[in-house]
Structure 1
Amino acid sequence: MRILLVEDEPLFRKGLAKMIAGAEASWDVCGEAENGLAAERLIAELQPDLVVTDIRMPVMDGLELLRRTKPAFPDIEFIVITGFQDFHYAQAALRSGALDLLVKPCSKQDMHEALAKADAYVQKKQTAARKEAIERQLLQENALRTVFLRFPYRPEAAALLERELRGSKLIVLHVADFLPADRGYAKRDVPLLQFAVLNIMGELLDAQGPGGTLLLIEAGRFALLLPADAGAEEQRLLGAVCSTVRQLLGLTVVPHVAGLVRSLGGLADLYEAALAESAQSRVAADRDGKPEAALPVNRVRQRLIGAQAAALIMAGQSEALRQYLDGMTKEMSAMDAETLPIEALSLSFALQDVARKQLERESDARSLTERISKLNECRGRDEVRAWMKAETERFMRHYDEWQNRYSASAVSRAVRYIEERYAEQLSLQQLASHVHLNAAYFSHLFKKETGRSFVNFLIDVRMAKAKQLLSNTDLSVTEVSGMVGYDLPNYFAKLFKMNTGLSPKEYRKQNTI
């Protein structure tokens, strides 16, 4: 997560940046400003997660900055730094939406506690936003399902769907038989198989499709809405759906191109015409006029699990990831025994999707088939819980393998990153995120491989660049200082002398030809 620092005193601003770089939370300083006016422009440009600002500044103070930007960017949080004498301003800052206050002089512990609070708050808010977005999608899917089945629906939902779907092509897919003789499935396996088919289709649409909407309408019957100009992509997608479901589950999916959607009201006509064309096909369940309700709810849980797991991976929080998955397994194990297998499969598909997108893991057809078969054989809550535990452990092994794979080249990639961006405000957390590793583990790995800490290595790179500039250009010491990442020339000169034994001017005198 990214922080913008707003402070008119350069030394204090530099100190704040160092405090933040040493925090355990995954924060990076993405920008700095010396007053509220400059910060207002940067907020619009950088869209940080958090702004840490002093109250008393020239041009525009922190309170005015907060009042002007919080309404425009409500998702950006503010921590306000104040002096004892300005406490009445601080109260106004809280009323204007500041998340927390820090009183000067604030210690490293004060800053870390404030960042930990902000980190927890932002993560909770982001999780809630993901959940809200996915639930909104579920409501839209439910509204669309009622249109297909000629059930009453709200006019406001219809207006949105009309705009999104007009001009799309409707393809109806159905499973010819959920109980093929060569597979030995039982009737109790049908809900699990149906859920697996839905997820396989969804993964293929996401991975290689032209974009579109996939929806379960009734038992064994699915609607696929694609862009009208999908062309060859449409044919590849349908071919992949039919062959993959056959390969993984031994089921036959039959597609019917129903036609272009001219209006929302015409969806039901297109759907029913496609069903009439396939009337001779054997469908696993007879149409009873009732829309399927349970599966979309499980798809919401699946998407939430995937989004949360992906967020923890991106933040490099491996232990938090394991705890989250253990918690989900425990929570789902307490659910109704009849729906538990489908919930368990939703967990598995969520992790499979994350492994493909985040861990660069290809789907394993044989393994998936074997795991679904084992879930089919589970009898009772304890066996399903054990199956879920095996799935999460399998995912964590993939995660560890992915981390180890990146670890092999992480230091060399980090060194290249430092050499390319040495003039920027670099932090350990920023570098660790770049190479997809936990900050603590990366710090240990970096020192083991280079023999130097990240901070010392960065100083050495900057000093080497400074030597080149001093020896080969007429740039002033102040200009060289800025070009190698130091805003304060005196601080740069002090580090340079510690590194070389000479002041910048002495070094230039001895090394200029």
Structure 2
Amino acid sequence: MAYKVLIVDDEEIVCRGMAQFVKWQEHDFEVVGTAYNVDDAMVLLNQLAIDVVFMDIRMPGKTGLDLLQMIQKRFPNIKSIILSGFSEFSYAREAMRYGAVDYLNKPVNLKEIEELLKRLKVMFMEEKKEQEIRANRVEALLLSAAKGYAKVEQEKYQLPVFKRWYGIALGLLDRAFSEQEIKEKKQEMRLEIGQIVPGAYILDSHVYGVFAIIPYKEESEVENFINMITQICSMNREWICGVSKTKNGVENLREAYQEAERALNYQKAGERRGLVCYKNIEPLFSQNTPEVQDVISRVMCMLTNPEKRNDAPKKLENDLRLIWNQGFTIMQFQTICIQYLIELNSFHQGLKIKNADLHRQLNQTLREILLSNDFEATIVCMIDHIKNLVNQLNEADEQQLGKGVIKEIQLFILTHYGENITLNMLAEQFYLHPNYLSRFFKEKTGKNFIEYLTEVRMEKVKELLINTDNKVVDISLMVGYDNPRYFSKVFKQFTGMTPSEYREKL
């Protein structure tokens, strides 16, 4: 991609000479416009995405200094170069104070311009790297806050300001995609959303999904975006989507993430494809309590563990009786049970249990619960549903089920190696007991969790050391190490060399 250049000088011969005789393309630049006064230059700046402006310091009417001030105010990312005569050196110094990055003496020397282009290209590349590093850090901080792993500290970490916004959770339906296919489909969705809402932040929330923060100004924008994303999901039939309620302020990030995920899980539980808005299913979650989420996590952990699975029905019964004793009405209690079943069904859809019609089983249990008149009948419906699921899991190919879970964990690590990944965090996300996950991971991969994570990170470090000129301290942050000294120690243990030695050798 060539950097776009605008030349502004009241002498036409200067504009034409610079545009024609400088070897712009050899240095990845191209002249996209020339102007002979400040007003014409501003018209072009408003029409074109300009990266660099070469401007004469003295022109009739408005001067180069006037143009420079307007550029700094309206287009602060543009690099401005001043063209001045020897007698105008004081103007050139003033221009530097206004933000010009360099100046050239007139008559301009073509070689000097090309040397300047080399320096400008380096500046652009360094800025791009810094922007990418910052963008990765911001995304990681936002994702940590959304998942509840960290507090939202906007001023401390200079997080973006979200005034009016909402969140959407998008998930791929097919779990058989390869790592590369998942990456490509996520990138396609990022581009789709970015084209509709350029100011959106799209976070890599799950192996098979993303979470997007969508800012808006007018209420009509919300409806328009929902219609567009519904069409996208309906056309390719690969994605489903859950949308949170509208929010004010970044402090509501965790709440929006939970709402969008619940709407997504509700969509997974049904047979229809497309999009669900949380506001339309909110009554199902109106009785949500921390105890309910604990019940869901505990029982799912037991169901995914062959050694504990058969104890799951009894554990669920005890937990539900404790919830009932908190004084809920029968309708409130049944709403809690329905919420639990929706989340449970969503998780087990991903396991692809052979010959299991989870949609039909869920709908049947929901009908039975809604027809139940008392607490004991509702409990029986729940226990029967869990017993049926336990039997199906016991009859399934345990090796195949295990491979599916481990594959998802490996894909998660390959995607999120730059974050603070812990065994407990993975266990929570994939509903496995940490001890069982540790043993199970070693059995399936031949490596323990830390060994696998370190290997993934070190391979990425080697790639970055070879293919980029990023600083070692920046690379350490990019792959999840806050302490550069510890990072260098780990890399040396892995390769026998420090990062600097490895780069020099290659």
Report the TM range for the smaller structure's normalisation.
0.3 to 0.5
Larger RCO (alpha carbons 8 Å, 6+ apart): 1
TM-score, scaled relative to structure 1? 0.43
